[in-house]
Amino acid sequence: MLVVSEEVREAVDACRPVVALESTIIAHGLPRPRNLRVALELEDVVRQEGAVPATIAVLDGRPHIGLDKGQLERVANEDGIRKLGHRDLPLAVASGVCGATTVSATALLAALAGVRVFATGGLGGVHREWTVTQDESADLGLLARARITVVCAGVKSILDVPATLQRLETLGVAVAGYGTDRFPGFYLSDSGHPVEWTLGSPGEVAKVMRAQDALGGPESALIVANPVPAEEQLDPELHARVLAEALEACEAEGVTGQAVTPFLLSYLVRHTDGASLKANLAAVRGNVRLASRIAAAWAGA
């Protein structure tokens, strides 16, 4: 069922470093033609660090682990590319559609293909007003069932960060700050909340991964929360003001359900004159670079 590119398959079989990359940032997160340029740039960052990129997407009903340039162009440029979480994968396969994979779908497919390290921007999590809406990202439940190391810049700052951290604890998903004892806030280096564990090098992360396997516990993920550099983060005061305005606009316009996150993210981009997108991309680049180094340390173990 999985279509694993020859390059990725050979690297996995030879225990060489591989990094999984999601495709929603290509199809749904950036405007054309910038989306394709960023996709190629992120793959190049992986290669510069000596690892193999494995961008993941569903094309014509077949999950692909590792895309060539033509396939990346399809994801970036075709109209009608679906946004697929892990629950959507059987429907997408049976329907023969094309779709870009979210964190949950990418993590699942990467794990099934034997890819242990995954780089993304920010995780989904528990939404604000959860007690009313019961709205929680599918990312969390999937990460409780997939043995993969996810390098991210925390969770999106539009979410309920402390509730998300509590939910991850309840689900048994390990969380460590990379070089910090503060949990990052996607656009921000510090969400205002602590983490209990800190890792300081790719080798330390690989050591935790080996311990996961040696203990033989539940097949859960390891989240490595890597903060965007302070000099590249979104100005915290600007972030707080615009996010408050975005939440008010969301309520005023009656936006609910899955439409909330894209509405808020789009509002932030427009009302920060693109500064939030710049911080987002800085975080993603840093996460991809770190993930590549972790994959190399894991492969050299």
Q: Tokens 């199809």 belong to which residue?
A: 27
**Is residue 138 within a helix (H) or strand (E), and if so which, with residue range?**
helix 138-143
Question: Among residues 10, 22, 69, 237, which one is catalytic?
Answer: 22
Query: In this structure, what token pair is assigned to residue 69?
Result: 């340039």
**Is residue 157 within a helix (H) or strand (E), and if so which, with residue range?**
none
- CA neighbor of 1 nearest in space, from 94, 127, 67: 94
Question: Among residues 43, 49, 136, 156, which one is catalytic?
Answer: 156
**Is 22 annotated as catalytic?**
yes
- CA neighbor of 63 nearest in space, from 98, 34, 35: 98
Q: What is the DSSP letter of 115?
A: -
- Between 275-299 and 202-215, two packed helices, what is the crossing angle to 10 degrees? 60
Mention every residue, 6+ apart, whose C-beta is less than 8 A from residue 216: none
**Is 207 annotated as catalytic?**
no
Q: What is the DSSP string of 43-89?
A: HHHHHHTT-EEEEEEEETTEEEES--HHHHHHHHH-TTPEEE-GGGH
- CA neighbor of 103 nearest in space, from 169, 148, 67: 148
Q: Tokens 């190399």 belong to which residue?
A: 296
Rounded to whole angstroms, the Cα distance separating 20 from 221 reads: 14
Active site residue ranges: 22, 156
